[in-house]
Structure 1
Amino acid sequence: MKITKELYDERFNRVVSAVRREIPDRVPVMPMVEEWVMHHADISLIEAFKNSPDANFEAYKKTFTDVYVDAQWGNMNIFPIDVMSNFGEGLYVLTDHSLQIKGSHGNLMNADEYDQLISDPVNFIGNTLIPRKFPSLTGDKQEIKNKFFKAFDDFKVFLQHNAIVNKRVAEELGIPFMAKGALYTTPDIVMDFLRDFVGTMGDIKRYPDKFYAACDSLFDYTMRMLTSSYTTPEDNHWIFSPLHLPTYLKPKDFEKLYFPFLYKMVDELCVKRGYNQMLFMENLWEPYYEILSDLPKTDKLVGLIEKGDLKKAKDSIGNKMCIMGGMQVDLLARGSVEQCIDQAKWCLDELAPGGGYIFSTDSVIMSHTDAKAENLIAVCDYIHENGVY
């Protein structure tokens, strides 16, 4: 029987080989499971995410004893809610059963403020938008300092909690967490944090040049934030980049206003700096495959494809990125074991040949109703047992 360190290295190297579009020993198994882990183990989210790293670990232990995985993209405890509570109400609400985001809270900047953002994004964000978002950061300077001191202390507790969990999952379960950082494209930053969806779509129609200039002005700032916190790209972990805006754009607008920043991000991270990057390609990307074929050539890029024909994706853009996905969450939630195994078999037959493929769910499993345990167990076992090259 292999010791845990050997299992960890074997699984990690299997994923790295797939990302490089080489042929590993087996197809890596990497379902996107988040809060489902805690639900499957019948452990409160508050207990797992805030109160007890031991409870958090036990949830992973229970789930990944039942469900075979080679890796996970990351520890799901990613929102330091206690930190943000020092400054007022945050975007996320954590209960025993769910972690929810409040919608329509991203319209922080006014349409007539683009010039200020473009001319000096750091100053505008720090001195205008942050006080607007957090009114408690105005007034008595000592009180503001005390809030920051308390927030830093809370953040250290948050980091220590996750460090304990991550270490135990690696050393006791032999399972790597692949992500070490996250970076949004700058158009997604404008939409998610500054102008919200309605504002952004209106701006693209009315002020496309200002929208482009704002995205350009933010690029170096966001890149510095990431690379200063994750400084070791040679360790072959991932930068996680969820792509939110593209599929709401016409292909011509995507090509003009979004793709330049996606290209620049991939080129800067993967080509010039040697980071591995995972693109979470939300919704249907088939209308954009021809444009994506112009992405930089790299062996550091993974694309999780949420919708559409993944065989078409591999044929169209599989020379630009490792393809990840293939197992529909809808089928895991409502289908039979036999139907789910049929889909897993299709993934092996159509996506695995030639390497450059990671078996995964097509979207994130969160609620306990998102996937029947017997279905997820069955497909992960099937790929692990039959996905041998």
Structure 2
Amino acid sequence: MSAQKMKEYRTKLFSDVYAGIIPDRIPIWDGLTPEYLIQYAGKDLMTTQYQYNVDLLVEIYEKGMEVCRGDMPAGGFARNPIAMMFQQSLSMVMSENGFIQHPERSFMEANEYDEFIKNPYDFLQEKLEPRLNKGFQGEVFRARNYAKTILSHMDVGREFGIAEATIIERYGLFKRPFGTVGMQLVPFDFITDFYRGFSKIPLDMRRQPEKLLDALEALMPYSIWMGKPQVVSPLGCNMIMTHMAAFLNQKDFDKFYWPTFNKLCHIAAEQGQAMQIFLEGDWTRFIDNLQELPQGTQLWAEYGDPQQFKDKLGKKMVLGGFYPLTLLRTGTKEQCIDKAKELMDILAPSGNYIFIFDKSALAPSDINPENYTAVLEYVLENGKYENAGDVVTTENKEDSIKKYSHLYPEFKSKYVLTFDEFKKVYPPSDQRVEPLMRAAYDKYFNMIDKGFFL
């Protein structure tokens, strides 16, 4: 099969799954990070991250194709240490072995909730971002270092984009359409991970729960705004990488985490956008909550009981995960294949399933490449459906979507102006150039004001 035909075939696999149709076979994601691919190609992890270019990345990706068997390009999101250098980031730090990590730190004081609640975005820009990034302290330094940060992200993004597109065309891989993927901010994780910290948030939950709840709600307009995709497509998604939920009991989960999380998933669905959620830890105890999410939500589970997930969510959600990556390092080839068969027997019947490992490999020592390829080749050879083309459920997706967007005001900040607001202070010199100005303004607005560069 030609690369173009293979690309069309793979695109239909995902189109069918996301539309609630049983595909020709189980779609497959590779579970290899950029860090793994760099090291597998024999490159030094630390220095390579400072010198990304198309030729180098294509070489790394090509080497990785020795073990990759998935339907989408492996690798995915990569941190940018050059941008971090200009930021002088304290929230993302490169370790001595070249891995970029998020250290446990707190940048917001317990007595600052009132100021945060008043306008979260303005408070972030004025107070918190300079604390996270020492390069953003001082008006002139901030402007210059922010420009360098953005230019670095644009350069790296371009190199990765060209290299990935090269591999996609060579091997006929599926890629979500440009502009259809967004990172969804989750209020509880956002406040915990970047501002209060893992060790401080439990204190807030006990000592000032109402302040914390008000802060979570205050973040909703900004979260909704950031979650609006440039392009709505059934092949697109907003991505959530959950964190704190796994560390909460049911009572605290229901009180602090779930209300804003659930509403954001439904608001995205109102806008025509599916949510792809990585469930860090074991969410089996929250499975009744997950049943409330919109039909077609994509759940990637790290741990948990796959049978319960299939029984309670299999007709409504697209499921993936559960396969322990560690087994690929410690198990025999037969044990690894047997585990894949076990999960396929549970999760594959009636569709709504993508084969994904529970997490992705960071270093060559994380997996035995022979076991990795053996598992994916088994899925490729034995993941065909006899009832391809059947619908997974006759339930109407629209009936599963609750309307919440009307509960929240439009996001506003003195630092974020629409073009119509901007032209009041800088009007077009002639009506002929107004649409050209608007197009340019919106282009860079989406790149900067709605870009997850920090």
Q: TM-score, normalised by structure 1?
A: 0.91
Distance verdict in 2 for CA 1:188–1:97, change over 3 Å: same
Per the alignment, in what secondary structure is the counterpart of residue 240 of structure 1?
A: strand
1:181 corresponds in structure 2 to: 182
2:349 corresponds in structure 1 to: 353
Distance verdict in 2 for CA 1:198–1:129, change over 3 Å: same
- The whole-number CA distance in structure 2 between the counterparts of 1:214 and 1:29 is 39
- The whole-number CA distance in structure 1 between the counterparts of 2:48 and 2:309 is 40
The answer (yes or no) to whether the contact 1:284–1:308 under 8 Å persists in 2 is yes
- AA aligned opposite 2:18: V
Distance verdict in 2 for CA 1:103–1:136, change over 3 Å: closer
1:6 corresponds in structure 2 to: 5
- AA aligned opposite 2:361: I
Q: CA deviation at 1:8?
A: 1.7
- AA aligned opposite 1:103: P
- The whole-number CA distance in structure 2 between the counterparts of 1:135 and 1:220 is 28
- Find out whether 1:118 has 2:117 as its counterpart: yes
Structure 1, 199-208 or 109-118: larger mean CA deviation: 199-208
Structure 1, 22-31 or 11-20: larger mean CA deviation: 11-20
Q: Deviations over 1:103-133 (max 9, x none)?
A: 213x111111111111111221111112233
2:26 corresponds in structure 1 to: 27
Per the alignment, in what secondary structure is the counterpart of residue 305 of structure 1?
A: strand
The answer (yes or no) to whether the contact 1:282–1:307 under 8 Å persists in 2 is yes
2:428 corresponds in structure 1 to: none
1:99 corresponds in structure 2 to: 99
- The whole-number CA distance in structure 1 between the counterparts of 2:97 and 2:22 is 40
- The whole-number CA distance in structure 2 between the counterparts of 1:109 and 1:40 is 39
2:212 corresponds in structure 1 to: 211
The answer (yes or no) to whether the contact 1:67–1:381 under 8 Å persists in 2 is no
Higher RCO (CA 8 Å, separation ≥ 6 residues): 1
2:423 corresponds in structure 1 to: none
Q: How many residues align?
A: 380
- Where does 1:180-259 land on structure 2 (aligned, <5 Å)? 180-227=181-228, 230-234=229-233, 236-259=235-258
The answer (yes or no) to whether the contact 1:30–1:69 under 8 Å persists in 2 is yes
Structure with the bigger percentage of helix: 1
Distance verdict in 2 for CA 1:98–1:7, change over 3 Å: farther
Q: Which runs of 5+ in 1 are unaligned?
A: none
The answer (yes or no) to whether the contact 1:20–1:356 under 8 Å persists in 2 is no
- The whole-number CA distance in structure 1 between the counterparts of 2:90 and 2:60 is 26
Q: CA deviation at 1:95?
A: 7.4
- AA aligned opposite 1:191: T
- AA aligned opposite 2:239: F
Q: CA deviation at 1:340?
A: 0.2
1:59 corresponds in structure 2 to: 60
- The whole-number CA distance in structure 1 between the counterparts of 2:43 and 2:134 is 36
- Find out whether 1:377 has 2:378 as its counterpart: no
Q: Which runs of 5+ in 2 are unaligned?
A: 386-454
Per the alignment, in what secondary structure is the counterpart of residue 33 of structure 1?
A: coil
Q: Deviations over 1:13-49 (max 9, x none)?
A: 2123223342100011113221222222223334366
Distance verdict in 2 for CA 1:74–1:322, change over 3 Å: farther
The answer (yes or no) to whether the contact 1:44–1:96 under 8 Å persists in 2 is no
Structure 1, 64-73 or 347-356: larger mean CA deviation: 64-73
Per the alignment, in what secondary structure is the counterpart of residue 306 of structure 1?
A: strand
**What's the C-alpha RMSD, in Å, of the aligned pairs?**
2.1
Q: CA deviation at 1:238?
A: 2.8
Identity %: 27
- The whole-number CA distance in structure 1 between the counterparts of 2:44 and 2:276 is 29
Q: CA deviation at 1:138?
A: 3.6
1:286 corresponds in structure 2 to: 284
Structure 1, 93-102 or 277-286: larger mean CA deviation: 93-102
2:321 corresponds in structure 1 to: 325
1:18 corresponds in structure 2 to: 17
Higher-Rg member (1/2): 2
- AA aligned opposite 1:274: G
- Where does 1:246-325 land on structure 2 (aligned, <5 Å)? 246-269=245-268, 271-296=269-294, 298-299=295-296, 301-325=297-321
Distance verdict in 2 for CA 1:99–1:358, change over 3 Å: same
Per the alignment, in what secondary structure is the counterpart of residue 199 of structure 2?
A: helix
